[in-house]
Amino acid sequence: MANIRIRNTNERLTTEESVREFLEAQGVLYEHWDPEKLPEDLRDKFILSDEEKAKILETYHDEITSLATRNGYKEWDIISLSDATPNLDVLLKKFEQVHVHTEDEVRAITAGNGIFTIKGEKAGYFDVELSAGDVISVPVNIPHFFTLMENRKVVAVRLFIDSTGWVAHSYNDPDFKA
């Protein structure tokens, strides 16, 4: 279950109802998929073969196609990051820059953890701490970035309208404090 930390007040939201209400007010889609559906041997595995990635996509096929149909996503894949990922620190430095996209940034966490830092219209920046089963969609042109939590491990389904056009555009914000 996701938790939220509002950066300018340090307030934490930890109940499903408060997380959903807050994200909905920010225009951010949040869902929770059953992490127990994933085969046990994939729940804590972060170096994945193509066959294992396909198994994750097969396991969540109904949820993925439902989300895709409702929001116009046409492509999806799996991303896996851990200390075994080549150049992980370089990738994280790139990820940890506030940016926007010309389409939604969607992640469905299937294993591990991650944090989306998002700029809300009224709340300022807030951190959404995600774990297995959490699904989030940051809307078009909303400043944000994604990084890993202390365990530095995540597996996620990514959904796109057009993966070739999914490019991060830098967003210079004097209000942002790392």
Average pLDDT over residues 125-150: 95
**Exposed/middle/buried for 146, CB within 10 Å: 0-12, 13-18, 19+?**
buried
Q: Which residues are documented as binding site for Ni(2+)?
A: 99, 101, 105, 144
pLDDT confidence of residue 129? 98
Of 37-41, 91-95, 146-150, least confident by mean pLDDT is: 91-95
Nearest Cα to Cα of residue 135 among 165, 108, 103: 108
> What does the pLDDT read at residue 12?
97
Provide the pLDDT for residue 123: 82
What would the two tokens of residue 4 be?
């939220």
Q: Which residues are annotated as a binding site?
A: 99, 101, 105, 144
- Annotation: binding site for Fe(2+): 99, 101, 105, 144
When the pLDDT of each residue in the chain is averaged and rounded to a whole number, the result is 93
Its pTM stands at 0.94
Walk me through the domains of the chain, giving residue ranges and CATH numbers. Answer: 3-163 (2.60.120.10)
All residues at 6 or more sequence positions from 88 whose CB lies less than 8 Å from its CB, including other chains: 81, 82, 152
